[in-house]
Amino acid sequence: MSISATDPGCSARVGLLTLTHGTVNTPAFMPVGTQGTIKGLLSDQVRATGAEMMLANTYHLALRPGDETVAKLGGLHSFMSWDRPILTDSGGFQVFSLADRCKMSEKGVVFSSHIDGRRFDLTPETAMSIQQNLGADVAMCLDHCPKLPADKKTIAEAVERTIRWARRCRDAHQRPDQALFAITQGASHKDLREQCAEELVAMDFPGYAVGGVSVGEDREHVHEALKVSTPKLPLNKPRYLMGVGRPEDLLIAIEHGIDMFDCVWPTRNGRNASCMTFEGTVRLRNAAHKLDPRPLEEGCPCIACRQYSRAFLRHMFMSGEMTGPILATIHNLTFLQRLMEQVRSAIMEGRYLAFSRELLAKWAP
């Protein structure tokens, strides 16, 4: 990763991440295509939002249609008709989100499939095999993401397991055209965060993620984790904050030196008629929009804003038409790419703190 600019007032930075399927301008937001697609959108529509990289889900794709099936069909890029970079998660988040359907041991995790109940074994080695079959540009190490709140002993055990599993992932990973990122854990404990980061950095991975910060803790704990974790991560390698996508949180994380983000926030909110603009949130089901001829946001280049009114979009949602969620999703993804573009400009011009503080004040409840 090459760094082209840093802000003099904080740790925010602009860079270029070069991967097998292209380059990504950072800070960057990755839309989440869990099943190999953004819900309701075609790949061309996702490209039109400005997205340069997408995330896909290892656990879900391994169950259906199967990573070997994807490999036989030319890999994930060909399968989902996306010619830009892809990152695949490790399946570690499903250990947290599907805790009632899995059992963990030092070897790995045994799931009872949420689809049909069949057994699915996920170990550091199988996580690497699956992601190598999928062929993403970036693969993630399998980690242990404990559910919070948890006592320090539980968090410490998760940190130690995460470190051991990262070593096993590194040893099992064999694709030279695929970057392998490690994931730091430690919740809000400074000593555990530092220990995890230091031991993973010593293994010399191509990139590092800050994990365990979108699993039930409050925002202050998220910020504290970033203050501790990012200074321990190499300056010349990408830093990825997993599962965070609220615009307010992105701005704070970028201030701490984070380069990459992913989250279902823009797509899930779009499907529920909630759209973000630089002036704040627009809730399209509100009666105030019934006769509103304005676009969602003046100056936004997305098709929802160029061709349709708030009144029409509200009508789509109130009528239960698919067009409403599709257009709102396109807008939210476009908004976040526009936000990242403005963030990069502000950093390069040395005015990031003023830029972010202005938006944070505008978006405050």
Q: Where are the beta strands (DSSP E) in the chain?
A: 2-6, 13-19, 22-26, 28-33, 54-56, 86-88, 102-104, 109-112, 119-122, 138-140, 179-184, 207-210, 239-241, 260-263, 274-277, 280-283
Between CA 15 and CA 190 the distance in angstroms is 27
Residue 294 DSSP class: S
What percentage of residues in the chain have a pLDDT greater than 70?
98
The pLDDT of residue 252: 94
Considering Cα of 133, then 138, then 141, then 142, what sign does the dihedral take? negative
Asked if 325 and 40 count as a contact pair (C-beta separation under 8 A), the reply is yes
Residues 229-246 have pLDDT tens digits of 999 999 999 999 999 999
- Rounded to whole angstroms, how far apart are CA atoms 278 and 297? 8
Q: How large is the average pLDDT for residues 176-203?
A: 96
What does the pLDDT read at residue 220?
Answer: 75
As a whole number, mean pLDDT of residues 121-146 equals: 97
Q: Which value, in Å, is the radius of gyration of the alpha carbons in the chain?
A: 20
In sequence order, the 6+-apart residues with CB closer than 8 A to the CB of 151 are none
Q: What residue spans define the domains of the chain?
A: 2-263, 276-365
What is the structure's pLDDT at 240?
98
pLDDT digits (tens, 9 = 90+) for 285-343: 999 999 999 999 999 999 999 999 999 999 999 999 999 999 999 999 999 999 999 99
Q: What are phi and psi of 278, to 5 degrees?
A: -70, -10
Fold of 2-263: TIM Barrel (3.20.20)
Q: List the catalytic residues.
A: 89, 262
CB atoms within 10 A of CB 34: 16
DSSP conformational letter for 108: -
- By the 10 Å C-beta count (0-12 exposed, 13-18 middle, 19+ buried), 55 is classed as buried
Q: Return d(Cα 312, Cα 290) in angstroms, integer.
A: 8
The larger pLDDT score, comparing residue 180 to residue 146, is at 180
Residue 216's pLDDT band (cuts 50, 70, 90):
low
Per-residue tokens: 306: 């160029």
pTM, to two decimals: 0.96
pLDDT of residue 273 exceeding 80: yes
pLDDT band at 223 (very low <50, low <70, confident <90, very high): confident
* Residue-level pLDDT at 215: 56
